[in-house]
Amino acid sequence: MRVTNSMLVRNVTNNLYNNLERMDKLNRQLSSTKRISLPSDDPAAVARSLSLRAAVADAEQFEANLGDAKAWLVATDSALMGAEDVLRRAKELAVKGSNPLSPEDQQAIAFEIDQLIHQMVTIANTNHEGRHIFAGHQTLSKPFSRSGDTITLQGDAGAIEYRIGPQQKLTVNLDGSSVFGTDETETNRVFKALIDIKQHLENGDASQVSKSLGELDAARDNLLKYHSEVGAKMNRVELANLHMSELKVNYKQLQSQNEDADIPGVIMELKTSELVYRAALGAGARVIMPTLMDFLR
């Protein structure tokens, strides 16, 4: 095969371009610290990186959901503690009011019980970040309202759920009717018990106040049951959050292993490529140097 001068020039130029392209790739890896900058660099690694990035994004979203769920449960825990304090004080007053007292003392106790009912309504209408925690799905409206000795419920029993992991959901709210009851609710009659005691005291009927103590204890026991349920969910959220944090760290480590460049190795390759490029320049200069004009001198 006849080798011409243009063939030599073309081959030398192609080799130089190949060396420059390799140096450019190594320079990009060194400046970005990433092994992959284009899908063509390693299609399989790119696909794995996309999968790992999606996993990291999911873990971060689950962590955010767990944070919101914990905040809701903390608000619920605080509300239930306040409700238990109200019932504890109500029982102290009811025990005192079950003894023979003057009408004035009975009316004074009845007035304090009335204030406790107001406080219980406030607790039952607890608002967390603009949402009422005992209102079911009707979070924008107060679930409980009071008119005289009548407590009405406007909320529903809808469940507020958060996704806290793959295929995992957690219901964070409690049904207000089940927790507090109303004057028409036969189970957990928190408001009914308080209103009955108030009315018995206003009527001067100490014996009926004594009978209402059992109803008050039953309401408090029911509150404690729900409080325990909230505590168990808070523990679950803590464990799930710890697990999700560990998963996210693991995903990020895998992502780093898949994407990050081996900087010492890249530097060595770059130095080698520079030497090869310089050698190719020298060899090309020697090959291309003789021309027809050089022989005509």
Region 202-211: what's the mean pLDDT? 84
Regarding whether 164 and 117 lie in a shared domain, the answer is yes
- Specify burial of residue 30 (Cβ count, 10 A radius: 0-12, 13-18, 19+): middle
pLDDT for position 203: 87
Region 160-187: what's the mean pLDDT? 80
Give the chain's mean pLDDT: 81
Q: Both tokens of residue 38?
A: 């284009």
Residue 205 resides in a domain: yes
- Give the ranges where the chain is alpha helix by DSSP (H): 5-32, 43-97, 103-124, 176-180, 190-202, 206-259, 263-288, 292-296
In the chain, % of residues over pLDDT 70: 71
Mean pLDDT is lowest, of 50-59, 140-149, 237-246, for 50-59
pLDDT for position 16: 63
The enclosing domain of 235 has a CATH number of 1.20.1330.10
Residue 41 resides in a domain: no
Task: Give tens-digit pLDDT for 179-189.
Answer: 887 545 444 57
Residue 294 scores a pLDDT above 80: no
Cα–Cα dist 230/187, whole Å: 19
Range of the domain at 185: 65-254
pLDDT for position 170: 92
Residue 155 resides in a domain: yes
Residue 235 scores a pLDDT above 90: yes
Regarding whether 265 and 248 lie in a shared domain, the answer is no
Residue 41 scores a pLDDT above 90: no
Q: How confident is the model at residue 215 (pLDDT cuts 50, 70, 90)?
A: confident
Regarding whether 106 and 7 lie in a shared domain, the answer is no
Greatest alpha-carbon span in the chain: 138
Q: How confident is the model at residue 44 (pLDDT cuts 50, 70, 90)?
A: confident
pLDDT for position 93: 92
Q: How confident is the model at residue 43 (pLDDT cuts 50, 70, 90)?
A: confident
Residue 56 resides in a domain: no
Question: What domain count does the chain have?
Answer: 2
Cα–Cα dist 255/252, whole Å: 5
Q: Which of 105, 100, 94 is nearest to 196 (CA)?
A: 94
pLDDT for position 214: 86
pLDDT for position 286: 65
Task: Give tens-digit pLDDT for 61-111.
Answer: 999 999 999 999 999 999 999 999 999 999 999 999 888 888 888 899 999
Regarding whether 90 and 191 lie in a shared domain, the answer is yes
pLDDT for position 186: 47
Regarding whether 204 and 94 lie in a shared domain, the answer is yes
pLDDT for position 100: 80
pLDDT for position 291: 56
